[in-house]
Amino acid sequence: MRLGVNIDHVATIREARKTFEPSPLFAALIAQQAGADQITLHLREDRRHIQDRDLELIKSSVHIPINLEMAPTEEMRDIALKLVPHRVTLVPERREEITTEGGLDVVKLSSYLKEFIRPIREADIEVSLFVEPEEEQIEVSKEVGANAVELHTGRYANLYNEHDMEGAMRELQRLARAGSVAKLLGLRVYAGHGLTYWNVSMLVEHLKDVVEELNVGHSIVSNALIWGMERAVKEFLKLIGR
Ligand code: PXP
């Protein structure tokens, strides 16, 4: 499995003081050096962590792929078309949320998304949709022109963290089924949200044949505060069999 390291929360700490440190660019370069396969970052509408300048600096400095998470808005699409990251991941966004809650409702937004995605694909940018592991969401993701889906692992992570192992196992089965449907449709399959050094091993064990990449932010950045970014990335890579 590949690992995308989400560095948003390095910027969260910087924005707590509106200063210049810590540097998300520096974090991205060390993550790359430690073996990360991709840098993931979310430019939110309210710019609460990553700023436009971070995006430009990181895009021009790292050589591994950039996965830009963004809400499906005109403003964000203009930025993506200018920056041309390797991939755009469309996520739902609400100002009052602490982090992305739930997947994008691709079924409800299907006609909007179809038009929204077309120019991004034409610019040779891969389009991934962050979705709940539900068959209908995945089928419509294919219909609207996505190349990939990122399955939302938040529910699995919560159940695991609450020590509800039966519930966590059921959720893994749901993720595996959803991933298999996506693969059959020819979509690439990624996963992420809420994954930690503790809950990731069980997920990898059950989803390694279906999911090709994980995107992990909060837990890696949290442990980077204690261990440093290099060790935090290397320890996570070991847990996913790398
Ligand atoms: N994948 C997507 C689509 C996300 O929105 C996020 C959170 O920004 C993540 C992965 C990473 O989640 P976490 O910070 O909980 O590891």
Q: Show me where the domains of the chain are located.
A: 2-239
Cα radius of gyration (the chain): 17
Neighbours of 74 (CB within 10 A): 8
Question: What are the residues facing 156 on neighbouring strands?
Answer: none
- Rounded-to-10 torsion of CA 184, 187, 191, 193: -120
Residue 7 contacts residue 42 (beta carbons within 8 Å)? no
Mean residue pLDDT across the chain: 97
Name the residue with tokens 């979310």.
Answer: 42
Q: Convert the pLDDT of each residue in 7-24 to its tens digit.
A: 999 999 999 999 999 999
Q: Convert the pLDDT of each residue in 39-53 to its tens digit.
A: 999 999 999 999 999
Ligand 1 test: best mutation among 99, 203, 240, most atoms within 8 Å of CB?
99
- Mean pLDDT in residue range 121-147: 98
Ligand 1 proximity of 6 Cβ (cutoff 6 Å): yes
User: Which residue lies with its CA nearest to atom 5 of ligand 1?
Assistant: 100
Residue 181 contacts residue 173 (beta carbons within 8 Å)? no
Report the share of the chain in percent with pLDDT over 70.
100
Residue 39 contacts residue 64 (beta carbons within 8 Å)? yes
Q: Convert the pLDDT of each residue in 113-128 to its tens digit.
A: 999 999 999 999 999 9
Q: Please determine, for residue 94, whether its predicted confidence score (pLDDT) is greater than 90.
A: no
CATH number for the domain formed by residue range(s) 2-239: 3.20.20.70
* Residue 10: its H or E element: helix 8-17
Q: Which ligand 1 atom sits nearest the alpha carbon of residue 42?
A: 8
Q: 177 alpha carbon to ligand 1 midpoint, in Å? A: 21
Per-residue model confidence (pLDDT) at position 240: 98
Q: Please determine, for residue 95, whether its predicted confidence score (pLDDT) is greater than 70.
A: no
Instruction: Categorize the per-residue pLDDT at 99 as very low, low, confident or very high, splitting at 50, 70 and 90.
Output: confident
